[in-house]
Amino acid sequence: MASEKIKVLTDADFGDSVKSGVVLVDFWATWCAPCRRLEPTVDQLAEDYTGRITVAKVDIDENPMTPGKFHVRGIPTLLLFKDGDLKETIVGLETKDKLAQLIDKHL
Amino acid sequence: MSSERQVIIIGSGPAGLTAALYAARANLKPLVIEGVEAGGQLMLTTMVENWPGYRDGIMGPDLMTEMRAQAVRFGAEIVQGDVTAVDLSQRPFAVTMGKTRHLAQTLIVATGASAKWLDLGVDKKLSGRGVSTCATCDGFFFKGRPVAVVGGGDTAMEEAIYLSKLATSVTVIHRRDTLRASKVMQDKAMSMPNISFIWNTEVIDIKDIDKGEVTSLVLRNIPTGETSELAVDGIFIGIGHVPNTALFKGQLAMHDNGYLKTHDGSRTSVSGVFAAGDVQDHIYRQAVTAAGSGCMAAIDAERFLSGTLHESHQTVEAGL
C-alpha cells in the first residue's frame, strides 16, 4: 500500500504541484513489476523526508500527458524537481541510499 | 550495528529464495538481502511456461511473490537494499549494506545476472528515453510506434513477441544469420506479421542524443561493412546477461567471463561461501536450474555448519 505521505498527482495538477520546493515524482503503472519493487523505497523516502520534500506519484496509464512532456519512455522513472525545474532523472531501480544522496544535493 | 547469522543469502531470485526456503526449513533463520533488482529476472518476464507444475504457465512476478511468501512462511527474514561490500577473508564473513554490517558463518551468493548493454555509451544515456532492456516495463510507451529489438536468443524473441502486440512494427537486428532462441520461440516470432528480421547486422550508433530521445539506429552489415539508418522510436536490447560479481572480485575465484567458479555442488573458492543460480551458471540459466542450485547451496551450507559436508573431490585453483 502506498504511504499516506505520498501525493497522487494527475495531468491536471502536475504543473502547479512541482512549482515550489523539492518534489520527487515516481512515474509508475499497476502492471509494472519493477515499479512495485521500488514502491517501498519511495514510501520510505516519504517518511524520512517528511516536511522537507514532497514525494508524489503519477499513474502513467491515467495520466499520459505528463510522462510525454518529460520524455519518460520507461518506468519506473523518478524525476526530481526543485522550484519547478527538473534537476534529476532516475531511470529504473535504485537503492534508498543513492536516492537520498540525490535528494540531499538539492536541499 | 552488527548481528551474526548462521547464513546470509545475497539475492532474491529463484536461487536465493529457494536457498532461503531450504535454510529456513533447516531452522537456520536465514537473512535474505534481496537487492535492488529484487525477485530477479523473472520480475521482468510475462508468462513463464517452463516452470514445472503449472501446465498453463504462471506470470513471472506472481511466481516470485509466491516463492518469497513461501520462504517467509518458514522463517526466512528478507531485507531490502543492496550489499555494498563483503569481507570473505575470515569467518564470520562480513556483509555491509551502507551503514549496516551483518556477520555470517556461511554465505550463499545468488546475485544473478543483469541485462547486458550494447557498450555504445549512448545506449545507457538514452535509457528510459527509448532504450530499454525490459519490454514488459517499457513497451507501453511504444503503442503505435516502430521499434527494434537487438539479439537472437530467447530474451530477444520474447521481447519481440511482446512488443509486436503494441508497436506498429518490430525489427529484430541480429549479428548472425540464424537465431539462438529455442524453436518454440523462433516459430512464434516468425509467425507474427509485424516482426521482421535484419540478419548479420549490428547497431553501431543510436540517435539522437541531442534530442534526448531515440529517433533512429545506425546499422552496419557485418559481411559488407555497409551502413544504413533505421528510423525507430524505441530499441530493446536482448543480447544476454553479465553476472553480478563485482562485489566478489579478488575474493572469490571466477571464470574469465566473470561468472563464479563452483565445485563439488555449490562450493566456491572460499570455504563456507556457496553460490547458486545465474551468478555461477552461464550455460543453463533457467529458473528451474537456479532454484535447484539454490536448494543445493542451502543443503551444503547446513552441512558445513554441522560439520558434515562431504569431502571435496576437487580443489578449485584459487586464481582470483
Comparing A67-71, B22-26, B83-87, B222-226, the range with the smallest average pLDDT is A67-71
Q: Quote the pTM value.
A: 0.81
Cβ neighbours for B118, distance < 8 A, ≥ 6 positions apart: B150, B203, B237, B239
Instruction: Provide the pairing of β-strand A22-28 with B195-198.
Output: unpaired
- Residue B138 a catalytic site member: yes
Task: Decide if B136 touches A, using CB distance below 8 A.
Answer: yes
Handedness of CA B116, A34, B81, B8 (dihedral sign): negative
Q: Which residues of A are catalytic?
A: 32, 35
Compute the average pLDDT of residues B301-313.
85
Phi/psi at A71 (5° precision): 55, 30
**Cβ atoms of residues A29 and A75 within 8 Å:** yes
E-strand ranges in A18-98 read 22-28, 54-59, 77-82, 85-91
What is d(CA B140, CA B146) in angstroms, rounded to the nearest whole number?
A: 12
Under the banding of pLDDT at 50, 70 and 90, the label for residue B8 is very high
- Could you report the per-residue pLDDT of B228-284, keeping only the tens digit for each? 999 999 999 999 899 999 999 999 999 999 999 999 999 999 999 999 999 999 989
Chain A interface test: which of B126, B140, B166, B235 (most A C-beta within 10 Å): B140
What is d(CA B164, CA B157) in angstroms, rounded to the nearest whole number?
A: 10
Residue from B299, B288, B293 nearest B259 by CA:
B293
Task: Decide if A97 touches B, using CB distance below 8 A.
Answer: yes
Task: Decide if A94 touches B, using CB distance below 8 A.
Answer: yes
Instruction: Provide the pairing of β-strand B93-97 with B100-109.
Output: antiparallel
What is d(CA B217, CA B82) in angstroms, rounded to the nearest whole number?
A: 34
**Per the CB < 8 Å rule, is B127 touching A92?**
yes
- Could you report the per-residue pLDDT of A35-67, keeping only the tens digit for each? 888 898 999 999 999 999 999 999 999 999 999
**Per the CB < 8 Å rule, is B80 touching A36?**
no
- Residue B295 a catalytic site member: no
**Per the CB < 8 Å rule, is A74 touching B128?**
yes
**Is it the case that residue B45 has pLDDT exceeding 90?**
no
- A105: region left, alpha or beta (phi > 0 left; psi from -120 to 50 alpha): alpha
Chain A interface test: which of B97, B134, B147 (most A C-beta within 10 Å): B134
